[in-house]
């Protein structure tokens, strides 16, 4: 079968909202776009887990040590699940994990904007260190929530093997978000902790708002054409922002300012996935 015939059959399935279960049915272009998105999720899951590990020892109580260890375990499991799917698509995962340093973090004084600090595919927010408990909680509140909004499209995407693993991943991400929301309210409503909590929120919110990519990007249009994504990047961003505003208000904190840029060129073209 020619690549043109394969694409016609594949697109007919996608247009009928059918799920593709067999990788042999994928065109090379579909596969390249799929692998790009899945690597961002997988690399981010692993880097995120390694970033959380120090907080098993530094957590504020023995109960939280157990919770943080469970979160780190979940993230490693998510990474391994995604890497297994990528192995089935021909990606040499073990060589990849040896090649990149997923423990790499930039200095506290560095702001990356929208660039990556290395050549792995993690979302660049996972290059930042997590210096305080407030920062750890912001990862749960903001980054896990942002990833959840991004990954929602994967739950109904056109590639069946990805859909099949997402239910379990999303349930665990929801638990991480709930943990963050609990602590955000606890800290935000405390006179002792409110200032530091607000400062952490002010730092991390703009960083997370940058992860969703440019509106109407050509790459996002390709993802939607293939049914790998369902929504435009900015639609996902605004849904996320509205939910964060509600949680922040419940915690008695002030929503950080973030203005829609007049020029989106500094943002990546593709909405990233992670969690």
CB atoms closer than 10 angstroms to residue 106 = 14
Q: What is the pLDDT of residues 146-199, one digit of tens each?
A: 999 999 999 999 999 999 999 999 999 999 999 999 999 999 999 999 999 999
pLDDT score recorded for residue 275: 36
Q: What is the pLDDT of residues 69-125, one digit of tens each?
A: 999 999 999 999 999 999 999 999 999 999 999 998 998 888 887 778 898 999 889
| Confidence band for 245, pLDDT divided at 50, 70 and 90 | very high
Q: Going by C-beta distance under 8 Å and a sequence separation of 6 or more, which residues neighbour residue 170? A: 148, 151, 152, 155
Please tell me the distance from the alpha carbon of residue 57 to that of residue 27, in angstroms, as a whole number: 47
Please tell me the distance from the alpha carbon of residue 39 to that of residue 221, in angstroms, as a whole number: 19
pLDDT for 272 beyond 80: no
pLDDT score recorded for residue 268: 65
pLDDT score recorded for residue 265: 67
Among 82, 38, 79, residue whose Cα is nearest residue 228: 38
State which fold the 25-250 domain adopts: Ferritin (1.20.1260)
pLDDT score recorded for residue 160: 97
pLDDT score recorded for residue 274: 41
∠136-142-146 over CA atoms, to 5°?
A: 135
Q: What is the pLDDT of residues 40-68, one digit of tens each?
A: 999 999 999 999 999 999 999 999 999 99
Q: Residue range 221-239: average pLDDT?
A: 95
């Amino acid at each position: 079968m020619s690549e043109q015939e394969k694409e016609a059959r594949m697109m007919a399935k996608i247009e009928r909202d059918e799920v593709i279960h067999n990788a042999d049915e994928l065109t090379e272009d579909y596969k390249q776009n799929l692998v790009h998105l899945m690597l961002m999720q997988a690399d981010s899951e692993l880097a995120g887990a390694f970033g959380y590990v120090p907080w098993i020892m530094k957590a504020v109580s023995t109960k939280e040590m157990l919770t943080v260890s469970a979160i780190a375990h979940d993230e490693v499991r998510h990474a391994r699940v995604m890497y297994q799917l990528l192995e089935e698509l021909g990606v040499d995962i073990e060589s990849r994990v040896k090649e990149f340093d997923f423990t790499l973090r930039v200095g506290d004084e560095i702001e990356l904007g929208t660039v990556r600090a290395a050549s792995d595919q993690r979302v660049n927010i996972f290059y930042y260190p997590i210096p305080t408990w407030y920062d750890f909680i912001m990862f749960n509140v903001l980054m896990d929530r942002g990833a959840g909004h991004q990954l929602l499209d994967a739950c109904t995407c056109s590639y069946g093997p990805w859909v099949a693993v997402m239910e379990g991943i999303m349930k665990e991400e929801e638990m991480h978000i709930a943990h963050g929301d609990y602590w955000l309210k606890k800290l935000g409503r405390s006179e002792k902790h409110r200032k530091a909590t607000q400062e952490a929120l002010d730092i991390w919110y703009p960083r997370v708002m940058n992860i969703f990519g440019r509106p109407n990007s050509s790459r996002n249009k390709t993802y939607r054409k293939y049914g790998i994504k369902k929504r435009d990047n900015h639609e996902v961003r605004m849904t996320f922002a509205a939910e964060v505003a509600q949680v922040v208000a419940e915690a008695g904190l002030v929503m950080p300012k973030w203005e829609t840029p007049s020029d989106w060129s500094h943002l990546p073209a593709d909405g990233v996935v992670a969690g």
